[in-house]
Structure 1
Amino acid sequence: MKRWLQVIGIIVVSMIFLAACGTDSQGDGKTYKVGVSQFVEHPSLDRAYEGFQAALKDKGLKVDYDFQSAQGDQNNVKPIADNFVADGVDLIFGNATPSAMGALQATNDIPIVFTSVTDAVGAGLVKSMDEPGENITGVVDLHPDAIKETVLFIDKYFNSAAVGLIYNAGEQNSIAQIDAVKEAAEGTSLSFVERTVANSAEVQQAATTIVGDADVLYIVTDNTVVSALDSVVGVANDQKLPMFVGEPDSLEKGGFATYGIDYYTIGYRTGEMAVEILKDGKKTADIPVENPQEIQLYINKEAAEAQGVEWNDEWDDMAKYVE
């Protein structure tokens, strides 16, 4: 009889163990629905989305993602968010300022987390960094010193340069950065030449017309321009114009240098916020908006050569190199 009881006990324990293995780390087996609204597909935003997904996976959440790209069209962001609301998603991930704005306009109830946003307060996404709002929070993509350090680098090594700026004046994200560039340049030897665009089809013409007026280019993290960055790189290489960019991913496409961040890391941190909301029941109002934790000088040596940059040995001790 004892032997049979032992056998039965082993079977029961085994069944409990197998049941536990078949359940996710939450213990409820729930699969969450997450709507992903991304303004356009380009390397930086794609990296942020990869980081976001990785964080949820690492925390053991089961997730069905509904990924929707606005293809760089402001008119698409609100309908995308409206569809997420109609589908009853558990959370919306807004990747870039227009997408986050569209989500906020669509719902006051569904929690929203965002990243790839430069000025969350200025854009009207949140009340303040410390007190974001009832259903939205996230991680901005601009380290407080990134633009300043890039501008000072240009001033030091390209003294008295006319800096060419190409951006979409309809993007709040871009206006905030351009204002920051000009503020950082106060007291330096730099001057500015500007071209604005309304869509990606206008980017190449803007880059072509700035030739002759600019000594270097500085392409901030403007979604419209970055989505057509190849056309700017072509002009920069042909005309030997050193091209500074707003983030490391644009270096891989042919930019020369930046003080920037890794978009994967801010996407990952945003994903951790999503876990706090979905799994732990935390409210967005209790999760302050965050800045990136660190910046680094990145340089693409091949782009430097293609754009006629005179190499300075000091950079070897300062920079990480990107191919």
Structure 2
Amino acid sequence: MIALAERPAKVVRVGFLSHIAAKDSSSIADFLHGMRERGYVESKNLIVDYRSAEGQYERLPALAAELVKLKPDVIVASTSVSTRAAQQATATIPIVMVAVADPVEQGFVKSFATPGGNITGVSGQYEDLVKKMPELLKAIARNAWRMAVLVDASHASHADWLRQTRAAAEILPIKLLPFEVNGPEGFDSAFSAMRKEHPDALLVFPSPKFFVARKQIVDFAQAHHMPAVAACAEFTEAGGLISYGLHLPESFRRAATYVDKILKGAKPGDLPVEQPTQVEMVINLRTAKALELQIPQSLLLRADKVIE
């Protein structure tokens, strides 16, 4: 357990930019928990200006500009879409990114070891995790040979993840059927195409867009009797069958470490980007029962959380 740090005397200001509403995620609470561990307490020596796009990504640039006008000491940006908006809004205020896939490829940092510029933080390396999705579903749904993959056309990493996951699936052998979500009517179009193909199961790649729409996605999967796997626990809590992904609460608590170091004088460009290693598996037994599926004991023993 981390001992509480001595409370800093100066009042510091942190901007927190997110694509989703606070009520839909524990991210702000997890971050504040990490800040308290380092001696920063809201209403005493910490001011947090929270801005959320509530799923409407087009609002992020304006929200980032609002935060910059408030002159925070640091901006914390949740996932790639918020980090991009913050990056475009300021080249001088330090930015701590959280759960960002491929930050080098996306141009946020020069390298993991020496980020350079004004951005550092905690990445979200999902490549190895998404490749395991077909295997996990096959272990439960043994007759699933054709699996739909929900792909976010606007996500920088999804095309590469699809290639890697398809290669892993072919060994099993499983055929993957990608369905792109693009534009405001993207889900309706993808679901309509999916109905025509009658896939046996559904893979949901990590995406802020899919996180916001998780209930819609889960409802579709349940209505069509499809077991679904995703990368975050919230999908499984909403009724998905299984999730396998990074433990995001820890990533947001770790973001507080970066903020603390920056407030104490460190330059973001000198702080190496952290690659999280804590993986979480959640299984929903209620969903398994509704789908008439038996979860192997080996998977239940590996699960970090089982919803009954």
TM-score, shorter chain, exceeding 0.5: yes
1:123 paired residue number: 106
For residues 201-252 of structure 1, what are the alpha-carbon distances to aligned partners after superposition, in whole Å with 9 as ceiling and x for unaligned?
5425523531343111011221212211212212222221100011122111
Q: Does the alignment pair 1:241 with 2:226? A: yes
Q: Does the alignment pair 1:41 with 2:5? A: no
Conserved 8 A contact 1:257-1:299: yes
Give the Cα separation in 1 of the matches to 2:66 and 2:162.
Answer: 33
**1:83 aligns with one of 24, 41, 66:** 66
* 266 and 76 in structure 1: CA distance in 2 versus 1, 3 angstrom threshold: same
Q: Does the alignment pair 1:65 with 2:48? A: yes
Q: Which runs of 5+ in 1 are unaligned?
A: 1-23
1:29 paired residue number: 9
Conserved 8 A contact 1:203-1:225: no
Give the Cα separation in 2 of the matches to 1:312 and 1:319.
Answer: 11
Give the Cα separation in 1 of the matches to 2:77 and 2:159.
Answer: 19
The AA in structure 1 aligned to 2:117 is E
Q: Which runs of 5+ in 2 are unaligned?
A: none
Q: Does the alignment pair 1:284 with 2:268? A: yes
* 184 and 118 in structure 1: CA distance in 2 versus 1, 3 angstrom threshold: farther
2:291 paired residue number: 307
Where do residues 86-235 of structure 1 align in structure 2 (5 Å cutoff)? Answer: 86-142=69-125, 145-157=128-140, 158=142, 161-199=145-183, 202-211=186-195, 212-235=197-220
1:273 paired residue number: 258
* 179 and 138 in structure 1: CA distance in 2 versus 1, 3 angstrom threshold: farther
Conserved 8 A contact 1:296-1:319: yes
Q: State the identity as a percent.
A: 24
Give the Cα separation in 1 of the matches to 2:11 and 2:156.
Answer: 35
* 124 and 175 in structure 1: CA distance in 2 versus 1, 3 angstrom threshold: farther
Deviation at 1:290, TM superposition (A): 1.3
Tell me the secondary structure at the aligned position of residue 25 of structure 2. Answer: helix
Conserved 8 A contact 1:118-1:176: no
* Count of paired positions: 298
Deviation at 1:307, TM superposition (A): 3.0
Tell me the secondary structure at the aligned position of residue 121 of structure 2. Answer: strand
2:244 paired residue number: 259
Q: Between Structure 1 and Structure 2, whose CA radius of gyration is higher? A: 1
Give the Cα separation in 1 of the matches to 2:155 and 2:56.
Answer: 11
Deviation at 1:25, TM superposition (A): 6.5
1:14 paired residue number: none
Conserved 8 A contact 1:120-1:140: yes
Give the Cα separation in 2 of the matches to 1:152 and 1:159.
Answer: 12
For residues 163-215 of structure 1, what are the alpha-carbon distances to aligned partners after superposition, in whole Å with 9 as ceiling and x for unaligned?
11123211225445434423433533121112222356542552353134311
The AA in structure 1 aligned to 2:76 is F
Deviation at 1:42, TM superposition (A): 7.5
* 128 and 260 in structure 1: CA distance in 2 versus 1, 3 angstrom threshold: same
Tell me the secondary structure at the aligned position of residue 146 of structure 1. Answer: helix
Conserved 8 A contact 1:49-1:95: no
Give the Cα separation in 2 of the matches to 1:121 and 1:40.
Answer: 24
Root-mean-square deviation (CA), in Å? 2.5
Conserved 8 A contact 2:15-2:48: yes
For residues 129-188 of structure 1, what are the alpha-carbon distances to aligned partners after superposition, in whole Å with 9 as ceiling and x for unaligned?
112122111112335532233333234553662111123211225445434423433533
The AA in structure 2 aligned to 1:125 is F
* 319 and 308 in structure 1: CA distance in 2 versus 1, 3 angstrom threshold: same
